[in-house]
């Protein structure tokens, strides 16, 4: 037979931007027609003030590589992954290898039903992830022996810093001294120092083996087990701290707590730590869920989000976020913390790991880890090597005078990373993945061998600290032993929630755009996920390349000169940026510049971050148009005088408008000697058109979990890079364990890991790589077009607040419900709950203006979905009109009673003045596809009055 010519298979040429951007050319034409412009370029030219453009009338040029297809980008990432070397990690220091149960990896970490959800502010459509978070809280509370646990913090080091400020608030002590055990993880101490300095807190580092140092203190922090691995009894220290009126913080290893007496049992007030080793990959530093739990009486001081139990309108138990009045979006500069985005997805993974293993499984893992460490110590000792750690859980310190480097190198050649403590000392940590083979390799590196009497060595944990109190007794941790059962449990939870895999989520200021699968894929590749953050940099060459590319590309997109990817949320980027400003002033002898001007419309994190950076906040008024009041700004600058440090403005404004006065604002503040911080969370309205670093700002943070496609995970993870102009570059974050992580002149670390949540950077890398300059610009233009299209279509039905020149909004629009409420008694709460019956997630409520809804459609929603949303809003408006004209009763109507559960709709007695089908199927398409809400409207106040923050007993759900 003659040779047949078989052409090589080639994927059809697809332009990724066409997949990312929802409306196609035809749909865009329809939308442009409605908005009244001939092209998106024309629309942008009209909407964006010319003063912020890089060149007259033209969009900004971006020096980015030509876009890659999905296949090409994944091939490039694969090539980068292949340059990483994943060794067996026995470095420890807060990061341990772990087996992610495959059922959790695939069905939570890689499942858009979990990773594309938003923070559960709308509790009725978030019952699944709220239950999962309640499991997490119960797990942490049980293991730490402290009754109230939050729903995750950003990492262990920042959790320790939050505990420090909590202790200061709660004790109201006159002392500014916080004592930290010298035997604490290096990154924890470094972050404590970064955070303490601007607040005037004195971090006193001391060897606490001989008790507390003299003097007044407001708190003490000990690591348990210590960084060296030693397990010491912290009780004498805790008692001594209490005698001095100070609070005791214990940074505890969550796995060790399955076999050791809990911090609460030891008398501690606060426990902090990481839940990484509960089935969350190391990811070169993150993301993982930090935890904090507190004793009774401190719960109102807790930073971050807290899930609580309440009841719904039918009296059934239901979950929602508790004590929200602590949070920065309400308390602003008086908030307990600036934390907004936390680590929900990772907390849910850790909680599910506990559900999967149950108390006995966890204990078995801990005992096995311990037995490996015992074997290691026995082998070393029998070879005459000096083991410094007597009582330990999983970590040893070994003394090898003068040859630590040689041992570490020998181990590395055998494929194992150890921890070089100093020239004479090596640290070794065992974990869930450590095998006896690994132990043999390590012993070999010390010239030792596995002891001949292979009898299992006896545990060496101190008897006085043996855990006696049970944990995880709740049925949820004792039921789902089979994979079938766990799979269905996770599915049942996911089915209760609305995430991006079911509907658009039009949350203003949150940018709920597509998280493309091709962007997500590389995150769980072992070559990225398996790296320890303190592994030698050359083993992480591929991921470091991702970091460097992103830094370059983000500098290009923003017009700044230097970028740090270390901050692991927007709030942390804000803090880093403000600290850079503070250091800059101090470097010039301008230490008195400590006032931060913040417009009244700002995001709550801004004011909270300014306080954390040691600044005082002065509020600048906004005019009726939502713009910064320039007269008030001038007056405040004059009044502040030489104390002016900075202004923090959001651009486009939180009102969703391109203020054309922004360049004037920058000029005035610079004239007054201040620096300009532009909150770049809304960069989705600027990318490819204007660059903050060019139009007058000195520093911005960006939210990669908004504009650059990292999914929200139900409330985290996030990445909040900080970008600065050259004069601030020396003051970016750095890290004690990694000199390449930032300038040596930097302000210290703001996160535990050198490159923050490096494990998820491939997402944003892939997005930029596949979009290229044209694609990114088209995304911005389409986002602005979609917002204006929605505004235009809604305008006849709801007043649209605020517009810029030519009556255009930027990437989001605010509609005003106050007039309707006054006339009909229907509130924006009623309206958003009714949207649930239509199958939608609510827009952002009452931010930045009470009684309004802020809608951000993003570029990823196609015209059909935009229309489905607008049609729902228009139909709801018609329902409100029926309340107004009396055809619906004022108190008994589909809005007041929304959302309607299947149970309520199918109940034998239906007592309402409207029909069941009006309630369930207000638009015909719902008959074909309908989201059934699992609970009725939730009573927020009840839950705060009767605070329950762990899993309720099953009887609570019985009739």
Ligand X SMILES: *Cc1c(COP(=O)(O)O)cnc(C)c1O
Among positions 350-409, residues that touch ligand X (CB under 6 A) are none
Rounded-to-integer distance, Cα 311 and Cα 318, Å: 5
Q: Which is nearer to ligand X, 666 or 710 (CB)?
A: 710
CB of 436 to ligand X, least distance (A): 43
Give the CA distances from residue 573 to residues 116, 204, 274, 720, 814, in Å, rounded to whole numbers and listed in that order: 22, 27, 21, 5, 26
Q: Which is nearer to ligand X, 287 or 688 (CB)?
A: 287
Q: Which is nearer to ligand X, 569 or 611 (CB)?
A: 569
299 binding ligand X? (CB under 6 A): no
User: How does DSSP classify residue 465?
Assistant: G
Q: How many residues bind ligand X (CB under 6 A)?
A: 15
Residue 307, strand partner residues: 321
Rounded-to-integer distance, Cα 382 and Cα 387, Å: 10
Among positions 569-588, residues that touch ligand X (CB under 6 A) are 569-571
Strands 722-724, 699-702: pairing is antiparallel
Rounded-to-integer distance, Cα 283 and Cα 280, Å: 8
Q: Which is nearer to ligand X, 425 or 601 (CB)?
A: 601
Q: Which is nearer to ligand X, 396 or 709 (CB)?
A: 709
Q: Which is nearer to ligand X, 408 or 687 (CB)?
A: 687
What burial class does residue 947 get, using C-beta atoms within 10 Å of its C-beta: 0-12 exposed, 13-18 middle, 19+ buried? middle
Piece in contact with ligand X (CB under 6 A), picked from 80-88, 218-226, 472-480, 676-684: 676-684
The interface mask with ligand X, positions 590-609, x = CB under 6 A, is -------------x-x----
CB of 168 to ligand X, least distance (A): 22
CB of 572 to ligand X, least distance (A): 7
- H helices present in 290-401, as ranges: 328-331, 344-382
340 binding ligand X? (CB under 6 A): yes
509 binding ligand X? (CB under 6 A): yes
CB of 402 to ligand X, least distance (A): 47
Piece in contact with ligand X (CB under 6 A), picked from 37-45, 127-135, 538-546, 679-687: 679-687
Q: Which is nearer to ligand X, 370 or 811 (CB)?
A: 811
Residue 395, strand partner residues: 429
> Which one of residues 76, 155, 679, 859 is an interface residue with ligand X (CB under 6 A)?
679
Among positions 605-634, residues that touch ligand X (CB under 6 A) are 605
> Which one of residues 234, 599, 717, 720 is an interface residue with ligand X (CB under 6 A)?
720
Treating both helix axes as pointing N-terminal to C-terminal, what angle do 761-794 and 70-83 enclose, rounded to 10 degrees? 150
Reply yes or no: is the peptide bond before residue 287 cis, omega within 30 of 0. Answer: yes
CB of 601 to ligand X, least distance (A): 10
Location of structure tokens 């004239």: 671
Q: How many C-beta neighbours within 10 Å does residue 610 have?
A: 31
Q: Which is nearer to ligand X, 507 or 516 (CB)?
A: 507
Q: Which is nearer to ligand X, 77 or 787 (CB)?
A: 787
Q: Which is nearer to ligand X, 180 or 681 (CB)?
A: 681
341 binding ligand X? (CB under 6 A): yes
CB of 373 to ligand X, least distance (A): 38
CB of 508 to ligand X, least distance (A): 9
| Three-class SS state of 619 | strand
155 binding ligand X? (CB under 6 A): no
**What backbone phi and psi angles, to 5 degrees, belong to 757?**
-85, 65
703 binding ligand X? (CB under 6 A): yes
Q: How many Å is the maximal CA-CA distance in the chain?
A: 94
CB of 519 to ligand X, least distance (A): 18
CB of 306 to ligand X, least distance (A): 16
- H/E stretch holding 309: strand 307-311
Residue 230, strand partner residues: 392
Rounded-to-integer distance, Cα 580 and Cα 16, Å: 37
Q: Which is nearer to ligand X, 521 or 812 (CB)?
A: 812
Piece in contact with ligand X (CB under 6 A), picked from 37-45, 46-54, 63-71, 563-571: 563-571
747 binding ligand X? (CB under 6 A): no
Tokens representing residue 622 in the block: 């906004």
Rounded-to-integer distance, Cα 403 and Cα 297, Å: 50
Q: Which is nearer to ligand X, 522 or 569 (CB)?
A: 569
Rounded-to-integer distance, Cα 315 and Cα 326, Å: 26
- H helices present in 424-540, as ranges: 436-445, 476-479, 483-495, 517-520, 526-529
Are 705 and 553 spatial neighbours (Cβ–Cβ below 8 Å)?
no
Piece in contact with ligand X (CB under 6 A), picked from 394-402, 567-575, 637-645, 656-664: 567-575
> Count H helices, E strands: the chain?
32, 26
Rounded-to-integer distance, Cα 214 and Cα 938, Å: 51
Piece in contact with ligand X (CB under 6 A), picked from 513-521, 558-566, 675-683, 897-905: 675-683
Are 782 and 21 spatial neighbours (Cβ–Cβ below 8 Å)?
yes
Q: Is the dihedral of CA 193, 196, 197, 203 positive or negative?
A: negative
CB of 569 to ligand X, least distance (A): 4
568 binding ligand X? (CB under 6 A): no
For residue 651, the number of C-alpha atoms closer than 13 Å in the C-beta half-sphere is: 32
681 binding ligand X? (CB under 6 A): yes
Among positions 824-883, residues that touch ligand X (CB under 6 A) are none
CB of 603 to ligand X, least distance (A): 4
Location of structure tokens 């407001």: 218
- H/E stretch holding 425: strand 425-429
Q: Which is nearer to ligand X, 40 or 682 (CB)?
A: 682
**What backbone phi and psi angles, to 5 degrees, belong to 818?**
-60, -40
Rounded-to-integer distance, Cα 603 and Cα 288, Å: 25
Piece in contact with ligand X (CB under 6 A), picked from 48-56, 296-304, 677-685, 822-830: 677-685
How far separated are the first and last CA of the chain, in Å rounded? 77
718 binding ligand X? (CB under 6 A): yes
782 binding ligand X? (CB under 6 A): no
User: How does DSSP classify residue 466?
Assistant: B
CB of 258 to ligand X, least distance (A): 32
Are 748 and 817 spatial neighbours (Cβ–Cβ below 8 Å)?
no
Q: What share of the chain is helix, strand, coil (3-state, %, to 5)?
A: 45, 15, 45
Q: Which is nearer to ligand X, 812 or 867 (CB)?
A: 812
Q: Which is nearer to ligand X, 605 or 780 (CB)?
A: 605
The interface mask with ligand X, positions 635-674, x = CB under 6 A, is ---------------x------------------------
Residue 429, strand partner residues: 395
476 binding ligand X? (CB under 6 A): no
507 binding ligand X? (CB under 6 A): no
Piece in contact with ligand X (CB under 6 A), picked from 277-285, 497-505, 568-576, 795-803: 568-576
CB of 340 to ligand X, least distance (A): 3
Q: Which is nearer to ligand X, 40 or 341 (CB)?
A: 341
Q: Which is nearer to ligand X, 339 or 919 (CB)?
A: 339
Q: Which is nearer to ligand X, 718 or 762 (CB)?
A: 718
508 binding ligand X? (CB under 6 A): no
Indicate the residue whose CB is closest to ligand X.
570
Q: Is the dihedral of CA 290, 293, 294, 300 positive or negative?
A: positive
Q: How many C-beta neighbours within 10 Å does residue 679 have?
A: 29
CB of 119 to ligand X, least distance (A): 8
Residues that bind ligand X (CB under 6 A): 340-341, 509, 569-571, 603, 605, 650, 679, 681-682, 703, 718, 720
């Amino acid at each position: 037979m003659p040779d047949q010519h078989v052409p090589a298979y080639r994927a059809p040429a697809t332009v990724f931007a066409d997949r990312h951007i929802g409306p196609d050319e035809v749909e865009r034409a329809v939308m442009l027609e409605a908005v009244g412009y001939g092209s998106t370029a024309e629309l942008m030219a009209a909407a964006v003030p010319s003063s912020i453009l890089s060149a007259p009338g033209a969009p900004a040029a971006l020096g980015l590589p030509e876009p890659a297809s999905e296949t090409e980008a994944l091939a490039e990432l694969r090539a980068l992954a292949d340059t990483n070397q994943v060794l067996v990690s026995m470095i420890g220091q807060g990061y341990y290898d772990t087996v992610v149960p495959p059922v959790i990896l695939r069905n939570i970490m890689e499942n858009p039903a979990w990773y594309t959800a938003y923070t559960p502010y709308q509790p009725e459509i978030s019952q699944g992830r709220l239950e999962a978070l309640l499991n997490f809280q119960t797990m942490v509370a049980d293991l730490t022996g402290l009754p109230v646990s939050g729903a995750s913090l950003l990492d262990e080091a920042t959790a320790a810093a939050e505990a420090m400020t909590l202790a200061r608030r709660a004790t109201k002590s006159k002392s500014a001294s916080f004592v930290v055990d010298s035997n604490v993880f290096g990154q924890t101490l470094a972050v404590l120092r970064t955070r303490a300095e601007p607040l005037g807190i004195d971090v006193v580092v001391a060897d606490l083996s001989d008790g507390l140092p003299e003097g007044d203190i407001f708190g003490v922090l000990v690591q348990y087990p210590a960084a060296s691995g030693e397990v010491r009894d912290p009780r004498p220290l805790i008692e001594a701290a209490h005698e001095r009126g100070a609070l005791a913080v214990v940074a505890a290893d969550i796995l060790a707590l399955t076999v050791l007496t809990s911090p609460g049992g030891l008398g501690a007030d606060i426990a902090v730590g990481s839940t990484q080793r509960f089935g969350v990959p190391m990811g070169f530093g993150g993301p993982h869920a930090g935890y904090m739990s507190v004793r009774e009486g401190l719960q109102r001081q807790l930073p971050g989000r807290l899930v609580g139990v309440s009841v719904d309108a039918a009296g059934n138990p239901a979950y929602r976020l508790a004590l929200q009045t602590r949070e920065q979006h309400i308390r602003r500069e008086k908030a307990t913390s600036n934390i907004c985005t936390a680590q929900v997805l990772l907390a849910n993974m850790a909680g599910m790991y506990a559900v999967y293993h149950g108390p006995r499984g966890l204990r078995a893992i801990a005992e096995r880890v311990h037995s490996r460490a015992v074997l290691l110590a026995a082998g070393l000792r029998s070879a005459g090597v000096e083991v410094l750690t007597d009582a330990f859980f999983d970590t040893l310190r070994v003394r090898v005078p003068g040859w630590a480097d040689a041992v570490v190198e020998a181990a590395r050649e055998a494929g194992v990373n150890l921890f070089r403590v100093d020239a004479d000392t090596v640290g070794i940590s065992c974990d869930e993945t450590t095998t006896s083979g690994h132990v043999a390799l390590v012993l070999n590196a010390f010239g030792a061998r596995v002891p001949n009497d292979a009898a299992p060595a006896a545990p060496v944990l101190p008897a006085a600290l043996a855990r006696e109190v049970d944990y995880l007794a709740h049925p949820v941790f004792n039921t789902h032993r089979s994979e079938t059962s766990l799979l269905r449990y996770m599915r049942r939870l996911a089915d209760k929630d609305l995430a991006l895999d079911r509907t658009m989520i039009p949350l203003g200021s949150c940018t709920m755009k597509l998280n493309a699968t091709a962007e997500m894929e590389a995150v769980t590749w072992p070559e990225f996920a398996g790296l320890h953050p303190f592994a030698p940099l050359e083993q992480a060459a591929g991921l470091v390349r991702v970091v460097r590319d992103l830094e370059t590309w983000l500098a290009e997109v923003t017009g700044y000169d230097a970028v740090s990817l270390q901050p692991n949320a927007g709030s942390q980027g804000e803090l880093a940026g403000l600290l850079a400003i503070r250091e800059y002033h101090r470097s010039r002898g301008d230490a008195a510049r400590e006032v931060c001007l913040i417009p009244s419309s700002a995001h709550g994190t801004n004011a909270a971050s300014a306080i954390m950076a040691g600044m005082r906040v002065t509020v600048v008024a906004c005019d009726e148009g939502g713009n910064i009041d320039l007269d008030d700004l001038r007056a405040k600058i004059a009044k502040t005088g030489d104390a002016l440090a900075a202004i923090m403005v959001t651009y486009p404004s939180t009102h969703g408008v391109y203020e054309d006065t922004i360049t004037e604002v920058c000029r005035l503040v610079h004239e007054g000697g201040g620096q300009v911080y532009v909150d770049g969370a809304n960069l989705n309205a600027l990318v490819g058109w204007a660059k903050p670093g060019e139009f007058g700002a000195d520093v911005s943070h960006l939210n990669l979990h908004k504009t650059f496609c990292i999914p929200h995970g139900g409330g985290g993870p996030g990445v909040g890079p900080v970008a600065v102009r050259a004069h601030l570059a020396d003051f970016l974050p750095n890290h004690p364990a990694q000199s390449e992580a930032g300038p040596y002149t930097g302000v210290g670390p703001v996160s535990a890991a050198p490159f923050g949540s490096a494990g998820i950077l491939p997402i944003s890398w892939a997005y930029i790589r596949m979009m290229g300059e044209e694609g990114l610009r088209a995304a911005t233009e389409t986002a602005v077009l979609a917002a204006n299209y929605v505004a235009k279509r809604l305008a006849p039905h709801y007043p649209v607040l605020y517009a810029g020149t030519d009556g255009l909004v930027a990437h989001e629009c605010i509609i005003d419900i106050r007039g309707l409420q006054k006339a009909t008694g229907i509130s924006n709460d009623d309206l958003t709950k009714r949207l649930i019956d239509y199958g939608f997630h609510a827009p952002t409520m009452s931010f930045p203006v009470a009684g309004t809804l802020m809608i951000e459609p993003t570029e990823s929603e196609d015209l059909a979905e935009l229309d489905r949303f607008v049609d729902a809003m228009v139909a709801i408006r018609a329902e409100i009109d029926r309340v107004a004209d009396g055809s619906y009763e004022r108190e008994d109507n589909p809005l007041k009673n929304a959302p309607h559960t299947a149970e309520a709709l199918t109940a034998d007695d239906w007592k309402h003045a409207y029909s069941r089908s009006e309630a369930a199927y207000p638009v015909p398409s719902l008959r074909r596809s309908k989201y059934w809400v699992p609970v009725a409207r939730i009573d927020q106040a009840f839950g705060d009055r009767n605070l329950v923050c762990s899993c309720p007993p099953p009887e609570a759900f019985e009739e």
